[in-house]
Amino acid sequence: MRITREPYGTTSDGQPVEAFILESTGGIRVTLINYGATIAAVEVPDRAGVQADVVLGFDDLAGYQSEANPYFGATCGRFANRIARGRFTLGGTEYTLACNDGPNSLHGGLVGFDKQVWAAMIVDSTVKMSLTSPDGDEGYPGTLRVEICFGLDEAGALRIDYQAESDQPTVLNLTNHSYFNLAGGGSILDHIACINADRYTVVDDRAIPTGELHSVAGNAMDLLSPIPIRRNITAVQGGGYDHNYCLNRSTAEALVLAAKVVEPVSGRSLECWTTEPGVQFYTGNFLHDIPGKRGARYNAHAGFCLETQHYPDSPNQPSFPSTVLAPGEAYRQACIYTFGVEG
């Protein structure tokens, strides 16, 4: 596996950004940029050996900095997904966050980790990116230090290892927000999806959990067996999948297979493995005429996301797995996206 680095441009406030290209002998090529610790491209062969970029994004840094960017490929934090009313209480103190999704806080707030330039270096066969988030950043308590290592192996597995520590009690929930399209373009509705979850978090009309975990059995949320994404999508609340699935697991910290998706025409497949309790399955319902790579225009269902994470609004839901990080504790999680070909 080979890693190269090259300039990627300069942010609007004058900070240089670099690209890191990871290439495997199996023909997979991943491009990372340290703006937002972002996966900017993943080039994968199909069953005939034809390469395609299977993640949505932009041609240049200006696109990633634009208001049109719906977190393409970015690292989301401090808290991925939503926190209701932009508030939570920890240790008897109520904290007020920046709200950027109506009355709620989404993916870390107005200037989350996705909009910052991370320090980056090549360490052995990985790219390590690091960021320090100061006490009070977007309303969150504690000075938080985060490191993410990206590695690509010869079997086509892109591994993301996260670790963090804080000097005060805080809450933390990190994820990668890549939008995948295994066909390399068009719609993802004919992709075949399977998610290893018996339950999902019920949400209200603002996508905030009610606290109830509902069985997928007998309803449109059931993806335990592989089916085309289009089959039940119109019956899903909100006009498409944008829900947290509670993964089936027997060991809290072990990697489990969260999901598998196959594009039947090209044969490209994606497996998603995680140590996290949940995966947010999102089918790009709100994409609308976004100017993307090589002249593409991204509209609804142009990509799907498998955001491995804790449940939404966990700081306000005491029955959910805890997202509290205390001083002296180490936050660790891993996510693996494995690309392959079937048939």
Give residue for tokens 């996966």.
39
Residue 1 pLDDT > 90, yes or no?
no
Q: What value does the mean pLDDT take over residues 79-108?
A: 97
First to last CA, the chain: 26
**Annotation says 6 is catalytic:** no
65: containing domain: 2-341
Q: Could you read off the pLDDT of 152-194 as tens digits, one per residue?
A: 999 889 999 999 999 999 999 999 999 999 999 999 999 999 9
Q: Could you read off the pLDDT of 94-152 as tens digits, one per residue?
A: 999 999 999 999 999 999 999 999 999 999 999 999 999 999 999 999 999 999 999 99
Q: How far apart are CA 128 and CA 150, in angstroms?
A: 6
pLDDT at 253: 74
| Burial of residue 256, with CB atoms counted within 10 A of its CB: 0-12 exposed, 13-18 middle, 19 or more buried | middle
User: Which CATH number covers residue 99?
Assistant: 2.70.98.10
Q: Which of 177, 191, 301, 310 is catalytic?
A: 177
Q: Which of 18, 138, 271, 307 is catalytic?
A: 307
Q: How far apart are CA 34 and CA 129, in angstroms?
A: 7
**Annotation says 307 is catalytic:** yes
pLDDT at 252: 74
Of the candidates 46, 37, 44, which has an alpha carbon nearest to the alpha carbon of residue 19?
Answer: 37
Number of domains making up the chain: 1
Q: Tell me if 138 sits within 8 A of 131, measured CB to CB.
A: no
Residue 32 pLDDT > 90, yes or no?
yes
pLDDT at 26: 87
Q: Could you read off the pLDDT of 217-265 as tens digits, one per residue?
A: 999 999 999 999 999 999 999 889 999 999 999 877 799 999 999 999 9
